[in-house]
Chain A
């Protein structure tokens, strides 16, 4: 090889390396349950995230770079979530992570991001402590775009006691972190109204017989069943009520809107009410476009969990806005930008105007959550 060709090859390699560096994508981790009982939440969340990423990339990306998601199935298992967190941070070198449908997995995994100074936007899990885990640290890297349990528990109590005028309530909560933390919030919200539940019952995931729990509630004279759990077991509760020929309303936390509750409970699930940040109903142009894009991209009519899809979509918009404002992908600067977003971000749940501050990492405030109701296999706005 002559000197001249050598120089040419070197120059060519240099330009290649530089151009590939300029086009280096921004890696974003996505961790959620894509299989098992929580799958409707995880899958919808991921699909919402993908839609947002595709839209941003089609418009030229962020900072001139494309967004690239690295998705992992945490199977709703805490230990799996921890493994994935370490992999995403150390091996994939993600800039930020969005996801977590399960409160337990979020609590177990976030520690690693906090230590690595990488922001996390939890977009589905609702446990009240999720964003408060590192309150005492200098900076808190955990943000959220879902309605937390304190908001939801208060809504459940308002709906059952103030609006529907029930005085005797029973609580059925599952034995996971999610169910038990939610039950505490719910009992607090009820206590504020001077209501003591006539029965507070627990059940395990995969339980198929709810007779004992429901009979106790019925014996206590409950006029309404308040639930804190996830789809399949909620369906067992609705079906168990049919078995006992005991028909009182079900009001519960937001997973009552999940496809696997609606499908597995069939007509027994009709009338169940739950707080929703988003209902699959195109009542604004932005929402209509989002729903249509989702239906077209994934070839389905009903979203398995519309709330998760919408919150997943919005979490990416917020993250992209923050990276743009920070002008870099440095975790600390992105966190600071999230805490002081100076542009309005128009999402599908709501329009975010300074959604986060240094002390408040919750994007969803009490006012923007509505009551949904299951009617004939769909979730509609409850009246």
Chain B
């Protein structure tokens, strides 16, 4: 029993990381119908910028872990705006259906190469803000940092949801995501809202980066695999539902650790991806997604 519990706990910590990145995919999809395929790289850049501030690699540490978080959030937001401005806006302007796919992938590759040149190709350790010594819950070991990851992920998602529901700016975001043209006619600057959604999505990814970095190693290549898994999570959960991101993340994370233990570590990624195919076949909008009817 504690074995299963241990696997589930590790799976939850892993899954929540996927969930935050998946949440970032959803933010931009909701407002603009586009996705940033560089979400994994946004996470990687956030983690590396954070490392430059709190680690001892660039003459630091300059600040402690908690004071570094706002800096990383601002950096993430600026990076997201840059992606939107250079890669997505032109595609939306010419009403290109797919231009943004290639341009966000291209930007992701450029970011990775730039990061390799600034931070090197090696993996680096990230200092842990709290003790790494695990404590026990029902016989299973949990690291305080893993708990922090789960809480941090839930907090940032709750904050974004609250902002969207309660504030007037958030209502503009919701209006744009419901019907961009109508929102535009009502006087909402929809292109600004889209830029904002990109800033928000990259900022959450950057935040996820500094959350996960103390548990994994930090390096220019850390984003690719995480970004891809999170994309699968976004599809499983549905691209329009924040709840879907959480549930999808948990499903994939737990499926990976449980499969690794009970079947084979060589096959640990298979069940999650099989689930992805199943969801696409049975309920293409995702487990929690709304089916959109597209008129042509």
Tell me if B268 is interfacial: C-beta within 8 Å of chain A: yes
Contact B260 A245 (CB under 8 A): no
C-alpha gap A244/B141 in the complex (Å): 5
Binds A, one of B66-74, B119-127, B188-196: B119-127
In the complex, residue of chain B having the shortest beta-carbon distance to the beta carbon of A75: B121
Chain B residues lying within 8 Å of A239, measured Cβ to Cβ, are 132
Contact B265 A202 (CB under 8 A): yes
Partner of B121, one of A36, A203, A242, A263: A36
Binds B, one of A186-194, A212-220, A348-356: A212-220
Q: Mark B55-90, 1 if CB is under 8 A from A, else 0.
A: 000000000000000000000000000000000000
Tell me if A347 is interfacial: C-beta within 8 Å of chain B: no
Known: A208-B216, A211-B10, A264-B125. A245 touches B265 (CB 8 A): no
B8 vs chain A, min Cβ distance (A): 10
Contact B257 A212 (CB under 8 A): yes
Contact B123 A232 (CB under 8 A): yes
Tell me if B169 is interfacial: C-beta within 8 Å of chain A: no
Chain A interface size, as a band, is 20 to 34
A219 vs chain B, min Cβ distance (A): 6
Known: A37-B122, A243-B141, A264-B123. A213 touches B217 (CB 8 A): no
Contact B7 A215 (CB under 8 A): yes
C-alpha gap A244/B132 in the complex (Å): 11
Tell me if A159 is interfacial: C-beta within 8 Å of chain B: no
Chain A residues lying within 8 Å of B266, measured Cβ to Cβ, are 175, 202
Tell me if A39 is interfacial: C-beta within 8 Å of chain B: yes
Q: Mark B241-274, 1 if CB is under 8 A from A, else 0.
A: 0000000000000001111110011101000000
Chain A residues lying within 8 Å of B133, measured Cβ to Cβ, are 242, 245
Chain B residues lying within 8 Å of A245, measured Cβ to Cβ, are 133-134, 136, 141
Tell me if B101 is interfacial: C-beta within 8 Å of chain A: no
A362 vs chain B, min Cβ distance (A): 31
Tell me if A280 is interfacial: C-beta within 8 Å of chain B: no
Contact B122 A39 (CB under 8 A): yes
C-alpha gap A216/B268 in the complex (Å): 14
Chain B residues lying within 8 Å of A243, measured Cβ to Cβ, are 10, 132, 134, 141, 143, 146
Contact B132 A260 (CB under 8 A): no
Contact B257 A235 (CB under 8 A): no
Q: Mark A169-180, 1 if CB is under 8 A from B, else 0.
A: 000000100000
Contact A212 B260 (CB under 8 A): yes
Contact B217 A232 (CB under 8 A): yes
Tell me if A209 is interfacial: C-beta within 8 Å of chain B: yes
Contact B217 A208 (CB under 8 A): yes
Tell me if B221 is interfacial: C-beta within 8 Å of chain A: yes
Contact B122 A36 (CB under 8 A): yes
Across chains A and B, the number of contacting residue pairs, with CB separation under 8 Å, is 81
Tell me if B35 is interfacial: C-beta within 8 Å of chain A: no
Tell me if A64 is interfacial: C-beta within 8 Å of chain B: no
Chain A residues lying within 8 Å of B132, measured Cβ to Cβ, are 239, 242-243
Tell me if A206 is interfacial: C-beta within 8 Å of chain B: yes
Considering only residues 225-264 of chain A, those with a C-beta below 8 Å from chain B are 232, 235-236, 239, 242-246, 260, 263-264
Contact A235 B122 (CB under 8 A): no
Contact A213 B265 (CB under 8 A): yes
Contact B217 A211 (CB under 8 A): no
Contact B10 A209 (CB under 8 A): yes
Tell me if B51 is interfacial: C-beta within 8 Å of chain A: no
Contact A235 B268 (CB under 8 A): no
Known: A36-B122, A264-B217, A266-B125. A244 touches B261 (CB 8 A): no
Partner of A216, one of B116, B146, B261: B261
Chain B residues lying within 8 Å of A242, measured Cβ to Cβ, are 132-134, 143
Tell me if B14 is interfacial: C-beta within 8 Å of chain A: yes
Considering only residues 142-178 of chain A, those with a C-beta below 8 Å from chain B are 175
Contact B123 A37 (CB under 8 A): yes
A144 vs chain B, min Cβ distance (A): 26
Contact A212 B261 (CB under 8 A): yes
Tell me if B277 is interfacial: C-beta within 8 Å of chain A: no
Considering only residues 50-108 of chain A, those with a C-beta below 8 Å from chain B are none
Chain B residues lying within 8 Å of A212, measured Cβ to Cβ, are 7, 257-261, 265, 268
Chain B residues lying within 8 Å of A206, measured Cβ to Cβ, are 221-222, 225
Tell me if B6 is interfacial: C-beta within 8 Å of chain A: yes
Tell me if B215 is interfacial: C-beta within 8 Å of chain A: yes
Considering only residues 110-165 of chain B, those with a C-beta below 8 Å from chain A are 116, 120-125, 132-134, 136, 141, 143, 146
Tell me if A332 is interfacial: C-beta within 8 Å of chain B: no
Contact B121 A208 (CB under 8 A): no
Contact A219 B7 (CB under 8 A): no
Tell me if B3 is interfacial: C-beta within 8 Å of chain A: yes
A351 vs chain B, min Cβ distance (A): 35
24 A/B residue pairs, CB under 8 Å, sorted by A: A35-B120, A36-B121, A36-B122, A37-B122, A201-B265, A202-B266, A208-B216, A209-B10, A209-B14, A211-B257, A211-B260, A212-B259, A212-B265, A215-B261, A232-B123, A235-B125, A235-B217, A236-B216, A243-B10, A244-B134, A246-B141, A260-B122, A263-B125, A264-B123
| Interface of B toward A, CB cutoff 8 Å | 3, 6-7, 10, 14, 116, 120-125, 132-134, 136, 141, 143, 146, 215-217, 221-222, 225, 256-261, 264-266, 268
Given contact pairs A37-B122, A39-B122, a sample of 16 additional A-B residue pairs in the complex whose CB atoms are under 8 Å apart: A35-B122, A202-B266, A206-B225, A208-B217, A209-B257, A211-B260, A212-B257, A212-B259, A212-B268, A215-B3, A232-B217, A236-B217, A242-B132, A243-B134, A245-B134, A264-B125
- Sorted from nearest, which 8 A-B pairs have the closest CB atoms? A212-B260, A208-B216, A35-B121, A211-B10, A212-B261, A245-B141, A232-B123, A245-B134
